[in-house]
Structure 1
Amino acid sequence: MTEIVSYEDVKAAAKRIGPYVRPVTLTRPGKSLWFALEYLQHAGSFKARGAANFITAHMEAGTMPRAGVVIASGGNAGLAVAWAAARLGMPATVFTPTTSPAVKVDRIRALGTDTFLVGTEYAEALAASREYAAEFGALLSHAYDHPLVAAGAGTLFDEIKRTEPRLDTVIVACGGGGLFAGVAAAAYQHGVRVVAVEPTGCPTLHAAIEAGRPVQVGVDSIAADALGARLVTPAALHWARESNASAVLVPDEAIIAARRTLWDEHRIVVEHSAAASYAALLSGAYRPAPGERVCAVLCGANTDPSDLVVRA
């Protein structure tokens, strides 16, 4: 049976990673709208929270091997593990698909982490990371499907709630479901609605809700490097049901437009996956009720901003 992340897990994670992560900053671009600027987090995304929680928990338990930690990632989780391992003095190895953005791979390598490019999809990098763990004895982490990783991501919510106690709804991008599961576990305790946003080409949570279980989906989106999981976690499906969360789909065109609007109107640079939460609002995929107080989480900024700059 898969272990489901709980609010107790999230609270334990907050105590564990407090010395290492940056508290999230909120800004208010509209009367009833807030942005959670989690792209300002160490390593450029919310993934730093889960990586720090995973590594520190194993260090506390005495279960971190001398070979360190190994992970497969489309980029952000690998970068987060590379950062956390360097911060905590642990060796790390990262496997990424050959299609991972160069800006992410270059940053992983800049942290001195052994980095291997394998296959064209996350699943192929994952298989290679498992083989590496078995051969060298490294501790296998996961980009999203682990209760320690999801609990670390979930610490984001309580920080948001402390800043804006009257919040009604929080909107998060959903790929494999680690961020969604952690945030939903925390938000449920406070009666706050969670909206999961997926690209139409990577509908893992949508498909799981319809089928009643996690099912394989295709991967076809401009945000696939971060939201391109083929299978949502059982924990994400559990919290979608338990919390009666909303799950909406947005096309790539809406994600691109939202990323552009964040730059043009707010001078915020994020990657496409991070723009998905705002795309749900701009496209009308999620329509807040009058006066509903909404926070859109902008979860990562490991991107090449050159396509946002208008050249004369």
Structure 2
Amino acid sequence: MESAARRARERTPGFLRETPLWKLQGAALGLAARDVEVWLKLEQLQVSGSFKARGMMNRLLANDIPASGVIVASGGNAGIATAAAAQALGVHCEVFLPNVSSEAKRARLRSLGAQVVVGGDAYADALAACLARQRETGALLTHAYDQPEVVAGAGTLGLEIERQGGIPDSVLVSVGGGGLIGGLAAWFESRARVVALEPERAPTLFKAREAGAPVDVEVGGIAADSLGARRIGSISWDITQRHVPEALLLTDEAIRSAQLWLWKELKLAVEPAAALPLAALQSGAYVPHSGEKLCLIVCGANVDPATLA
């Protein structure tokens, strides 16, 4: 992860942003545990509007890019991040999206010059179409969450948190395919308690733990466009087995309530996936101990502002 951070800094200076770490007391977030210290890692302010830019740029910089460019399947954020990285490097980008992807994310991709292909009911369908196309063109495949360079790039977020604020007691993070939690858990290991959060309607890690191995699950609900992977990534599965003690499920209602609270009270316009950490606290799914220092990863802002009314 230190190598990933150094590579981006040296080869694409100014592309990635050091996003703010905002420290608040629990009372400021409407929590009953008023003496806890809550760190909001505002990664929705990252280039491309999500943490994904870290991993996607690392993937591109770590490999030779053919004339056919790069290709990715995504619910939206990984595609936007790949397109932004490709634009910065001056290479072609093709992005495959499922039908569940938002029009706001599709428009953003086109504005970045990406060639956009939409089809299939879920991320897995878009991935199958993407892989078939990649075999035809030989483009560099960027996986949304299950490549070493992508996980390592996401892990630079942990390095940045530690440099800005030290090591928190706990880190609450949303899980889709697992690239973000894999990177964070690999960075913090046993030095902080990393807690996995998933929607009840997209429980990839939770169901894998029940089964004892990654399994396919049905996905849907309010955060499906960002957290809609049907199976936890193999890299993150291995890491989370060692370093993530808890996987908690949240209702769509709790997620939506937290998303709207972040907008109305703090003026943070974020997508549903970014609201899960606050939802875990406000719903009582995660109960902090007295004086605990919690870091909430506010992971993405690719949301249609009209949905926050």
Instruction: Name 2:150's counterpart in structure 1.
Output: 149
What SS does structure 1 have at the residue aligned with 2:95?
strand
Structure 2: which amino acid aligns with 1:11?
Answer: E
Q: Aligned with 2:23: secondary structure? A: strand
RMSD: 1.1
Aligned residue for 2:3?
A: 12
Moved more, 105-114 or 15-24: 15-24
Partners of 1:165 and 1:84 lie apart in 2 by 29
Q: Tell me how far apart the structure 1 counterparts of residues 67 and 167 of structure 2 sit (CA, whole Å).
A: 46
User: Structure 1: how far apart are the matches of 2:114 and 2:237?
Assistant: 33
Cα distance, 1:166 vs structure 2: 4.3
How far the C-alpha of 1:245 sits from its partner, in A, is 2.7
Pairing 1:255–2:258 present = no
The amino acid of 1:145's aligned partner reads D
Amino acid corresponding to residue 304 of structure 1 in structure 2: D
**Take 1:225 and 1:244, find their aligned partners in 2: how far apart are those partners?**
24
Counterpart position of 2:265: 265
SS in 2 for 1:127: helix
| 1:274 has 2:274 as partner | yes
Q: Does 1:27 align with 2:32?
A: no
Show the 5 A alignment for 1:17-166. Answer: 17-18=8-9, 19=13, 20-30=15-25, 32-58=37-63, 63-166=64-167
Q: Deviations over 1:221-263 (max 9, x none)?
A: 1100000111001222222221143211100000000001111
The answer to whether structure 1 residue 216 and structure 2 residue 216 are counterparts is yes
CA distance in 1 between partners of 2:130 and 2:146 (Å)? 14
Give the 3-state SS of the residue equivalent to 2:202 in structure 1: coil
Amino acid at match of 1:253: E
Letter in 2 for 1:279: A
Distance 1:286 1:306 in 2: 30
- Structure 2 counterpart SS, 1:241: helix
Moved over 3 A (4+): none
Over the matched positions of the two proteins, sequence identity in percent amounts to: 47
Count of residue pairs brought into register by the alignment = 295
SS of residue matched to 2:186:
helix
Q: Which runs of 5+ in 2 are unaligned?
A: 26-35
SS at match of 1:116: strand
Q: Which deviates more, 12-21 or 217-226?
A: 12-21
Q: Is the contact made by 2:75 and 2:226 (CA closer than 8 Å) also made in structure 1?
A: yes
SS in 2 for 1:23: coil
Q: Which residue of 1 aligns with 2:197?
A: 197
**Aligned partners of 2:48, 2:79: CA distance in 1, in Å?**
10
Alpha carbons 2:254, 2:283 under 8 Å: kept: yes
After TM superposition, the structure 1 = structure 2 runs for residues 165-204 of structure 1, keeping only pairs within 5 Å, are: 165-188=166-189, 191-204=191-204
Matched-pair contact (CA < 8 Å) for 1:209–1:237: no
CA distance in 2 between counterparts of 1:202 and 1:88 reads 34
Q: Which amino acid aligns with 2:16?
A: V
Could you tell me which residue of structure 2 aligns to residue 294 of structure 1? 294
Partner of 1:239: 239
Indicate conservation of the 8 Å contact 2:146/2:236, yes or no.
no
- Secondary structure of the 1:125 match is helix
Distance 1:240 1:67 in 2: 35
Unaligned segments of structure 1, at least 5 residues: 1-9
SS in structure 2 at match of 1:197: strand
8 Å contact 2:146–2:177 — kept in the other structure? yes
Is the 2:185–2:244 Cα contact (8 Å) retained in structure 1?
no
Instruction: Give me the whole-angstrom Cα distance separating, in 2, the residues matched to 1:292 and 1:23.
Output: 25
